[in-house]
Amino acid sequence: MKNPHDTIVHPLITEKTVSTMERDNILTFIVTMDSTKQDILNAVEELYEVEVDKVTTTILSTGKKKAYVKLKEEYPADEVATKIGVF
């Protein structure tokens, strides 16, 4: 298993990701290119002490990999974002 700190590069915060966070309970991260969905799930659960429902990834035209991490209902994404210092 990969070190969680080697998987997640940083949280991504834009107007769009904030509205997704509030509407769909999804956190958005930039992750390393070699990270699998399972690596991302494990890293988020370990680092932020939450339970993940689903991970979706996409590769950006800039060559970076973006991960959308949907949290289970009992873990509000905005509270997690506040705890990790995004707001």
Could you read off the pLDDT tens digit of each residue along the chain, which spans 87 residues? 788 889 999 999 999 999 999 999 999 999 999 999 999 999 999 999 999 999 999 999 999 999 999 999 999 999 999 998 877
Strand order through the sheet with 26-31: 8-11, 26-31, 65-71, 52-59
pLDDT value at residue 27: 97
**CATH number of the domain bearing residue 70:** 3.30.70.330
Q: Which residues contact 10 (CB under 8 A, 6 or more apart)?
A: 29, 30
pTM above 0.85, yes or no: yes
pLDDT value at residue 86: 78
Write out the residue range of the structural domain in which residue 74 sits: 4-83
pLDDT value at residue 84: 86
Residue 71 near residue 80, CB atoms below 8 Å: yes
